[in-house]
Amino acid sequence: MTNNTINMMKVTILDIKCTYNGKEITKANLKKMFPVNKVSKLGILITSLRSNETLYLKAQVVKKTPRYSALFYTVSLANFFNMQDSAFG
C-alpha cells in the first residue's frame, strides 16, 4: 500500500488483504473478526503513512493468551487522578 497523496493516510485492518487457507477473507468477515469502532466507524488502526511512504506487511495471525507468552498481555492502560485548582483552595 502506498500513500500517493500529500496528506497522512490511515491504514486500518480493513485496508489490507487477509487470507485464510489460501483464500481471501471478505471485508464483511473481517468486520466480524475485527469489529469497527462504534463511534468513528473505522477499523483497527495499523499505521499512518506519510506522503510517498509505502507499507509492505506480511504477517501470520495467531490466537494465544498471556499464559503462552507475556507478549500477548494487555498493552493499554488508563490512569485517572484528581487535580485540585489552587484558585479554589
pLDDT band at 18 (very low <50, low <70, confident <90, very high): confident
59: cell is 504477517
Dist CA 67 CA 48 (whole Å): 31
| pLDDT tens sequence across 61-74 | 677 777 777 666 66
Decide if pLDDT at 77 tops 60: no
Q: Is the pLDDT of residue 89 over 60?
A: no
Residue 76's pLDDT is 57
- The most distant pair of C-alpha atoms in the chain lies apart, rounded to whole Å, by 66
The whole-number pLDDT of residue 7 equals 93
**Cell representation of residue 67:** 499464559
- Is the full-model pTM beyond 0.75? no
pLDDT of residue 38: 86
